[in-house]
Chains A and B, each alone.
Chain A
Amino acid sequence: MRTGIYFCNCGSNIAEKISATAVVEAAASFPEQNYVATVDFICSEDGKLQFEESLKAEQPDRVVVAACSPRDHEGTFRRCLSNAGINPYLMQMVNIREQIAWVTEDPAVATQKAIRAIHGAVCRVEKQLPLEKKQLEVCPDALVIGAGPAGMKAALALAEAGRTVTLLERTPFIGGLPVRFEELFPALECAPCMLEPLMGELLHGEHAGRIELMTMSELVEVTGFYGNFIAKIRQKPRHVSLRDCIGCGECVEVCPASATNEFKNNVSLRKAIDFTFAGVLPNAPFLDQATCIRWQGQECRACKDACPMGADVINLEEQETVVERRIGSIILASGSGLYDAAHVAGMGMGTLQDVYDALQFERLLSSTGPTGGQIVTKAGQAPRTVAIIHCVGSLDEAHKPYCSGICCQYAFKFNHLISAKIPEAVITHYHRELVLPGKEAQTLFNHAVRSGKSRLKRYGSIADLAISRDTNGSMLVSSEGEAFPADLVILCPAVIPAEGTDQLSALLDVSLDSSGFFRELHARTDAAQSSIRGVYLAGSCREPMDIQKAIQEGMAAVGHLLSGLQPGRTIDIEPICAEVDETRCSGCHLCVSVCPYRAISFDTEHNASSINAVLCCGCGTCVAACPSGAITGHHFTNEQIMAEMEGVLK
C-alpha cells in the first residue's frame, strides 16, 4: 500500500515553523511506503489543480494532507480526491497549522511534532476504508403542531412554497393566545384584526387547498425519521363540518343546554353547541359533549334540525378518529401558557374576587369577553384603583427563575387601556425588575409614567407583597409597611410551556430544558432546530416571546424545512456513522438511551440494537458506551484510532 503525503506550506503559516525538507527526509524512513509532495497553497485554485493532477499521475492507495484544520478544508480535499477518481474517505488530514505551527515556539520542536503527527496519519489512513454516501427518497410534506402565530405563519409559508401541510390544533379555533386579546403592545393594534389576514389566507386563500387544518386534534404517535415520518393524529369529534358550516349560528340559538364558558372567565354561559367566542375562526361552532343533553341520555337533535345548510353539516354520530399522515418534517409551535398564580402565596389568585391573571384580564378587556370589554369589578363598579403586579413567579428560584420578557410590556399596555377607559383610575405597578427591550417598548411605559395617575413600586421579593381584603370588603396591596387600596388586581405571572408540551416531548423524543421549554439544537446558532433531525421549533414553545418573534421563528423553521427536504430530491446519508454488528450485540439496551439523536432503536425480533443511518450523526457516543464492542464507528474504528496513536508514539 502506497500513501501520498501532501505537505502544504500555507505560505509562511506552516513553512515558517515546520521544515518541509525535514518532513520529506523523515517520511523516507517511514516503514510504510509513501511519497511526499510539497505544495505552497493546496487550497488555492492552482493548488487544488496541482493536487488533483498529482493524484491522477501517482495513483496512491491512500492520501494524507498535512495542512490546516479539517474544519477548513476537509470537504475541499475530499472533492479533489473524488475528481481524481479516488474514494474521498481514503484521505486523512493532519492539522499541522493550528495545532502545531501556530502554537509551537521552537521550529525544531514543531517539525518533530509534525513528523510524528504525519506518521500517525499515515498509519491510520492505511486502515481507512472506502465509504459511499447513500441516498434516501423523502416526503417533502410537513406537519405543523399548533395554530398560533408561529404555526399559522409556518403553515401558510410552506403552502405558498407548494408544500402540503397538516396543521394540528388542540383547541377548536386558530390564532393561539393573541386572538383572545383586544389590543396588543406596542402599537395597540387590534389583535384579531391584525391576525385576520393571516388566518383568512390560511383558511380560504389561494394556497389554503394545500393546508389541512385539523382542530381539536392531538398527535398520539410518531414513527419513522427525518424525511419519512408517519404521524398518528387523534381528532376529537367537533360534530360540525368545517367544510360545510358557514357560521350562521342558527344551531346555537335552538340549543337547550348550556355551561360556564372559560373564554368568558366562567362568568357567562355557552351553549352545548356554540362558538368559542364571537368572531372566532374557523367560523364554525363545536359541540361540547360534556354539556350536550344527548350525552346525558336525552334525545335531542335541535341543532341538526335547525341547520339551514342541510343534514350533513352537523353530525351527531361523529366519533373520535385516529388518522395517519406521512410527512418529512415537523414544526413544533405548540406555544405557551401562564404559570398558575395560585402557586404564589399572598396573591389572592382564586381566593379573592377581582384578582385576575393577565390572560383573564385580556378577556375582560376584549369586546368578545364576559363584559363586552368594560372594565368592572364583580360588584359592577368601575375600579378607581388598580394594582398591576409584575414578575409573579418570575425571577424567583422558588417558582420560575427566568424573566419572561413580555410581561412588563403588556402590563403597560394594560395601564394604557385602563386609563383610556377609566381616566380617573390610579394604577400602581409593583415590579421586581422592569424589562422593556427593543426600539418600541418604551412608548407605553412613557405614557404610563407621564400620565400622573401611575405609580411604580419596586419590591425585593414577592413575599414582601400581600393582597388582602379588609373588614369593609376593600382590597389592599401591602408592601414593606405601606398599604394601598386596589379595587382590581392584575397579576403578570411567568410564561410557561403550554399544557401538553411534556407529551409532545415524549412522543417526539425532543428534550426539554430545565424550565420545560423545548431545547434547541444550539441555543444561539441553531435555535430553530431540535436535536431530532427534521423536527423544528418555532415560537413560545421554545422560550417566552412576543408575536413578532414567534412569527419570525415560524419563518425560520420554514427556511430550514424548505432547504432540507426538496420534492424530487433525495437526502444524502453520511457514511461516517455507527453500525451495530447484530451477531455481537447481547441486547443490553445500553446504547439506546445514550444516543443524543434518538437514532438507535431496539429490534426485538433479532434481540439487537439497530442504528438508523439517517439520524446518526457519527458522534461515537454509542461506540464508546457499547460494553460488548458490538458497535463500530465507521471512519473512527478502534483499529484506526489505535493505529494513529501507535504511529504517533513509535
Chain B
Amino acid sequence: MSEKPKLAVYWAASCGGCEIAVVNLHEKLLDVDAALDFMFCPCLLDTKKKDIEALPDGAIAVTLFNGALRTDENVEMAHLLRRKSQILVAFGSCAKGGCVPALANFSTPEQLLNTVYLDNPSVDNPDSIIPCGTTGFPGGQIHLPGLLGRVKHLAQEVDVDYSIPGCPPESHQIWNVIEVILSGDLPPKGSTIGCGALTVCDDCDRTKQEKRITAFRRNYEFCPEPEICLLEQGMLCMGIATRSGCGAPCTKANMPCTGCYGAPEGISDQGAKMVAALGSVMDIGDTTDLSEDEIAGRVDAFLAAIPDYAGMFYKYTLASSTLGGKR
C-alpha cells in the first residue's frame, strides 16, 4: 500500500481528450507518479468501480472528474467519487459547463434516441430497437445506463471543490494545478484554477485595434492575415469573451478561439456576453431613413453568417448558462 496521496482521473460523458491532455504531460507523468499514487483511470488503468467502493470515504486525495453527466451511471460515479475524494475537481469544459454533450439540451432524450437509432440514413434497424435502460432482444437482455432528461455539469449534482476549464485543459496548466495541490497552498474553494483571470486576447499576440465589423466570415471562406486580430477580420473569434490561460494556441494557428476556457472571471454567461459584445461592434451601415423592417433585414443578413447560434456561443457552457437549453 502506497503512502502517496491517491489521484483518480475519471471520465463521464466525454470524448477522452481530457485523458490525452493528462498523458500529454509526457515525462512530467514520472513526477506525478513520484508524488502521487495514480490509482484510478478507466481509460489507462485496470482499477474497477468495486475497488473504489471498497476504499474508505475520503481515501482519494484528488479526483479529476471529466465529462458531463448524461446517464444514471455518470451520476452514480459522481456521487461515489465525491464521497471517496478529499478534493473533487471538475476537470475540463464538460464537467465545468456541459460542453458539447450539453448541446443535446435542445432536444429531448426521445428525440436523441430517435435520431441515433431510427431516423438516420446510416442505420439499419428493422425492429426499431432502441437500446436504453433494459432492452430485450431474441438473445436475451442488455442493460445500459438510462439517459437523464437533461445533461448536467458536475456541480449541478455534487459539491465541487475546484474547476479547471478547457477542452481539453492545456497540459501545462494541468501541471500547474498538480503543483498547487502538492504544495498544499490551496486557493479558496469554488475557484476556477489552471487558467488566467483575463481573456484569451491577453494570451493572443495579434495586434488589436478599434473594432467595427462589416461582415462575419467563417474560417473556410478566407485565409486571415497572421498579425491582425481575427475578430477585426470578421472571423467569429470567441477570444474576447473567453477566459485566458490556454496561451491562445488556436489563434496562433490562424484559427478562431471557440471559447473552450469558458467565461472570464466575473462573467456568468459566456454566450450572452459574446452576443452583447458582437452586437456592439456589428456595423450594418448607415441606417438613416431606413424603415424598421429594412434595418431588421440588414441585421438578419449580417447574422446569416452564423448557422448555429448555440454551437457558436454556447459550445462549452450551455449547461451552466442562464439559457440552459430548451425547456
* A binding-site residues for B, Cβ under 8 Å: 401, 513-514, 584-590, 592-594, 621, 624-629
Q: Which of A513, A585, A588, A589 has the most CB of B within 10 A?
A: A588
Q: Is B2 an interface residue (CB 8 A)?
A: no
Distance of A378 Cα from B198 Cα, bound (Å): 73
Interface string of B77-88 (1 = CB under 8 A from A): 000000000000
Distance of A562 Cα from B264 Cα, bound (Å): 46
What B residues does A594 contact at CB under 8 A?
280-281
Distance of A513 Cα from B287 Cα, bound (Å): 10
Q: Find out whether the CB atom of A628 lies under 8 angstroms from the CB atom of B198.
A: yes
Q: Find out whether the CB atom of A627 lies under 8 angstroms from the CB atom of B274.
A: yes
What A residues does B197 contact at CB under 8 A?
584
Q: Find out whether the CB atom of B267 lies under 8 angstroms from the CB atom of A628.
A: yes
What A residues does B240 contact at CB under 8 A?
586, 588, 590, 627-628
Q: Is B28 an interface residue (CB 8 A)?
A: no
Distance of A514 Cα from B202 Cα, bound (Å): 37
What A residues does B209 contact at CB under 8 A?
589
* B binding-site residues for A, Cβ under 8 Å: 197-202, 208-212, 229, 231, 239-241, 244, 264-267, 273-274, 276-277, 279-281, 286, 288-289
Q: Find out whether the CB atom of B211 lies under 8 angstroms from the CB atom of A627.
A: no
Q: Find out whether the CB atom of B280 lies under 8 angstroms from the CB atom of A588.
A: no
A-B contact pairs, 9 of them (CB 8 A): A586-B198, A587-B202, A588-B201, A589-B209, A624-B280, A625-B281, A627-B276, A628-B240, A629-B273
Given contacts A586-B240, A624-B276, 17 further A-B contacts (CB under 8 A): A513-B288, A514-B286, A514-B288, A586-B199, A586-B202, A587-B202, A588-B199, A588-B239, A589-B209, A589-B210, A590-B277, A594-B281, A625-B281, A627-B276, A628-B240, A628-B267, A629-B265
Q: A514-B289, A627-B264, A629-B264 are in contact. Are A592 and B210 (CB under 8 A)?
A: yes
Distance of A155 Cα from B151 Cα, bound (Å): 70
Closest 5 CB pairs of A and B: A625-B280, A627-B241, A586-B202, A514-B288, A586-B199
Q: Find out whether the CB atom of B286 lies under 8 angstroms from the CB atom of A627.
A: no
Chain B interface helix/strand/loop/mixed: loop
Q: Find out whether the CB atom of B212 lies under 8 angstroms from the CB atom of A584.
A: no
Distance of A625 Cα from B277 Cα, bound (Å): 4
Q: Find out whether the CB atom of B210 lies under 8 angstroms from the CB atom of A627.
A: no
What B residues does A621 contact at CB under 8 A?
280
A579 to chain B, nearest CB (A): 15
A217 to chain B, nearest CB (A): 29
B238 to chain A, nearest CB (A): 9
What B residues does A627 contact at CB under 8 A?
199, 240-241, 264, 267, 273-274, 276-277
Q: A627-B240, A627-B273 are in contact. Are A590 and B211 (CB under 8 A)?
A: yes
What B residues does A626 contact at CB under 8 A?
277
What B residues does A629 contact at CB under 8 A?
264-267, 273
Q: Closest chain A residue to B239 by CB distance?
A: A588
Q: A586-B202, A587-B201, A629-B266 are in contact. Are A593 and B273 (CB under 8 A)?
A: no
Q: Find out whether the CB atom of A590 lies under 8 angstroms from the CB atom of B281.
A: yes
What B residues does A586 contact at CB under 8 A?
198-202, 240, 244, 264
Q: Find out whether the CB atom of B265 lies under 8 angstroms from the CB atom of A593.
A: no
Q: Closest chain A residue to B238 by CB distance?
A: A627
Q: Closest chain B residue to A621 by CB distance?
A: B280
What B residues does A624 contact at CB under 8 A?
276, 280
Distance of A6 Cα from B240 Cα, bound (Å): 44
Q: Closest chain A residue to B283 by CB distance?
A: A593
B302 to chain A, nearest CB (A): 16
What A residues does B199 contact at CB under 8 A?
586, 588, 627-628
Contact of B208 among A513, A584, A588 (CB under 8 A): A588
What A residues does B198 contact at CB under 8 A?
584-586, 628
Distance of A627 Cα from B244 Cα, bound (Å): 12
What A residues does B276 contact at CB under 8 A?
624-625, 627
Q: Find out whether the CB atom of A628 lies under 8 angstroms from the CB atom of B264.
A: yes
What B residues does A592 contact at CB under 8 A?
210-211
Distance of A627 Cα from B240 Cα, bound (Å): 6
Distance of A16 Cα from B289 Cα, bound (Å): 44
B313 to chain A, nearest CB (A): 11
Q: Closest chain A residue to B237 by CB distance?
A: A588
Q: Find out whether the CB atom of B265 lies under 8 angstroms from the CB atom of A584.
A: yes
Distance of A627 Cα from B269 Cα, bound (Å): 10
Contact of B210 among A513, A584, A593, A625 (CB under 8 A): A593
Q: Closest chain B residue to A589 by CB distance?
A: B208
Distance of A585 Cα from B208 Cα, bound (Å): 13
What A residues does B212 contact at CB under 8 A?
593
A181 to chain B, nearest CB (A): 32
B17 to chain A, nearest CB (A): 26
A398 to chain B, nearest CB (A): 15
Distance of A353 Cα from B209 Cα, bound (Å): 51
Distance of A401 Cα from B286 Cα, bound (Å): 15
What A residues does B288 contact at CB under 8 A?
513-514
Distance of A585 Cα from B267 Cα, bound (Å): 13
Distance of A626 Cα from B241 Cα, bound (Å): 9
B159 to chain A, nearest CB (A): 24
B35 to chain A, nearest CB (A): 33
Distance of A621 Cα from B273 Cα, bound (Å): 13
Distance of A587 Cα from B231 Cα, bound (Å): 13
Q: Closest chain B residue to A519 by CB distance?
A: B288
Distance of A365 Cα from B41 Cα, bound (Å): 96
Q: A625-B277, A625-B280, A627-B199 are in contact. Are A589 and B266 (CB under 8 A)?
A: no
Q: Which of A586, A593, A624 has the most CB of B within 10 A?
A: A586
Distance of A627 Cα from B199 Cα, bound (Å): 8
Distance of A585 Cα from B286 Cα, bound (Å): 30
Distance of A160 Cα from B319 Cα, bound (Å): 68
Q: Closest chain A residue to B203 by CB distance?
A: A586
What B residues does A584 contact at CB under 8 A?
197-198, 264-266
Distance of A212 Cα from B208 Cα, bound (Å): 41
What A residues does B211 contact at CB under 8 A?
588-590, 592-593
